[in-house]
Amino acid sequence: MKFEKFIERLQQQKETMLAVLVDPDKFNPELIRLANTSNVSCFLVGGSVLKNGTVKKVVDAIKIISSIPVVIFPGDEKQLSSNADGLFLPGLLSGRNPEYLIGKQIKMAPLIKKMKLRHVPMAYLLIDGNRTSTTQKITRTMPMNPKKIKEIVHTAMAAEYLGYKLIYLEAGSGAKTEIPIRIVKEVKKKVTLPVIVGGGIDSKNKVKRVRNYRNNDAAN
C-alpha cells in the first residue's frame, strides 16, 4: 500500500515532491539519514549501468534506515528487487534504440510478474544537459535538443496517448545544466500526467529552484 499511496499523491499533483536518486555504486547511508529529515517523498534506486553495487542490497539497506518508499528506477532487467515498494518501468522515448523502447521491458516482464512488483509505466525523455551522460553512452541514443521544445512536448503528448502514467524529463547524471523551466511549463500545459524532473540537481539551491517550478506555473 505504501507505493499506491505515493503514486496517488503524485497523480493528484497538489504538491511539488522531492525524490532522491540513489546510485547503488555510490550508496551512502548518511544520505538516507539526511533524507529522513528533509521532506523526501521517495528514493529512486538504479543506474544506467552498475559496476559494483546491487539494487537488492541497496533497497534492503535503505529499508533498515528509512520508512520512505523505495522505488526502483532500473537501467536493465538485472536491477530489480522484490523487496522494493514499487517500480517505475521506463521507456526511453527520446531515443530510437528498440532495446530501450521495448527490448529491456520484455526481459523485465517475467521478473516483474514473478516478484509481484507493483509498477507504473514511465516515459523517459533524455534532454541534453551540456554533458554526455552515461544514459546516452549506454543506450546509444542522442538526447533531445532543449531548444526544440515543440518536439519534446509532442513526445510527452504521445507518451500520454500511449498509456504511460508518468513523464520523466532527465538532463542526465552530472549534467551541467538542469531542465529549463520553460520546457517543464510547456509540457505541463499539454499533458495531464505528473512530470518528474531530474539531472544536474546536486545542490540545495538547485533543489529550491526546481521545487519552485510550481510557483512558476510548472508543477511537479
For residue 146, give the nearest of 185, 173, 196, 174 by alpha carbon.
185
So what's the pLDDT on residue 210?
A: 65
Q: Which three cell numbers stand for residue 131?
A: 554533458
So what's the pLDDT on residue 180?
A: 93
So what's the pLDDT on residue 213?
A: 59
Class of residue 203 by CB neighbours under 10 A (exposed 0-12, middle 13-18, buried 19+): exposed
So what's the pLDDT on residue 206?
A: 72
Q: Which three cell numbers stand for residue 109?
A: 516482464
So what's the pLDDT on residue 1?
A: 81
Contact between 61 and 29 (Cβ < 8 Å):
yes
pTM of the shown model: 0.92
Domain of residue 98, residue span: 2-216
So what's the pLDDT on residue 211?
A: 67
SS3 assignment, position 101? helix
Total domains in the chain come to: 1
What is the residue-level pLDDT of the chain in tens, covering all 220 positions? 899 999 999 999 998 899 999 999 999 999 999 999 999 999 999 999 899 889 999 999 999 999 999 999 999 999 999 999 999 999 999 999 999 999 999 999 999 999 999 999 999 999 999 999 999 999 999 999 999 999 999 999 999 999 999 999 999 888 989 899 999 999 999 999 999 999 877 777 777 766 675 554 433 3
Q: What CATH number is attached to the domain comprising 49?
A: 3.20.20.390
Distance from C-alpha of 175 to C-alpha of 134, rounded to nearest angstrom: 10
